[in-house]
Amino acid sequence: MDNYSFETVKENIRIINENIREVQERYGCNQTTELMAVTKTVPPEVVNWVFGEGVKLLGENRVQEFLSKKDCYDMSTSPRIHFIGHLQTNKVKYIIDDVDMIQSVDSLKLAQEINRLALAHNKIMDVLCEVNIGGEESKSGISPDETENLLEKLSDMEGIRVKGLMTIPPPVESDIYFGRMAELFSRIKDKAIEGISMDTLSMGMTHDYATAVKYGSTIVRVGTGIFGKRDYR
């Protein structure tokens, strides 16, 4: 807790929300963009601060860390929790009852396991398809060319409800990659695939969230920009 200041977190949230509004006004954006607090390595007591500042969406990257912290979260304000990190199929069972959305679906195998467990738990899991828009070998995600085919297969799964797309673009030339994601999102949305709502485009982090808003992002995932630089060991 010594490395965190409530007043700093509060001010960071204010600045980010103000920046989002300014970008939307400047470029005539018509989407609503929600700020997600990414909580990797942040103590739950500090995470709870953001609820009082109007942030009601958390992004969790690691299954084990989430499980160790979740019971300490103040759920009285009904925050929503999205899993945004790479997810192994054998870890789905640990989070199926505790998250509201899985943003990192990047394979048919993973989707099938989410679907199986969701049905077993008598629920429907909202998901996003993660797209590797930059074709980077170091990142997970399906290629843009294969995205529509995967979505078609997911649309038939009764335990899954596809809400849209997520991406982590290359750190340089983000305008290019956000533009490509916006085009892919719009193209798939226009096809109106049955069972695919396509109302969520999750892209943009601390260093590029303003650019992501410009290109239609509906969720920006910010960690360092809210909580400050952290030790990721």
25-67 pLDDT, tens per residue?
999 999 999 999 999 999 999 999 999 999 999 999 999 999 9
Domain 6-226: give its CATH architecture. Alpha-Beta Barrel (3.20)
pLDDT digits (tens, 9 = 90+) for 111-163: 999 999 999 999 999 999 999 999 898 898 999 999 999 999 999 999 999 99
**What mean pLDDT comes out for the span 83-111?**
97
Backbone torsion region of residue 155, taken as left when φ is above 0, otherwise alpha when ψ lies between -120 and 50, otherwise beta:
alpha
- In terms of C-beta distances under 8 Å and separation of at least 24 residues, what long-range contacts does 22-29 make, across chains too? 23/210, 23/213, 23/214, 24/213, 27/214, 29/213, 29/214, 29/216
Give kind and range of the element (H or E) at residue 127: strand 125-131
Residue-wise pLDDT tens digits, 173-232: 889 999 999 999 999 999 999 989 999 999 999 999 999 999 999 999 999 999 998 765
Q: What is the largest CA-CA distance in the chain?
A: 51
- Report the C-alpha gap between 130 and 180 in whole angstroms: 14
What is the spatial distance between Cα 58 and Cα 221, in angstroms, rounded to a whole number? 9
Q: What are the residue boundaries of the structural domains of the chain, listed by start? A: 6-226
pLDDT of residue 173: 85
Which pLDDT score, from 0 to 100, does residue 233 have? 47
- Locus of tokens 């193209």: 187
User: pTM for the full model?
Assistant: 0.95
Cα 150–chain centre separation: 19
Q: What pLDDT, on the 0 to 100 scale, is given for residue 2?
A: 63
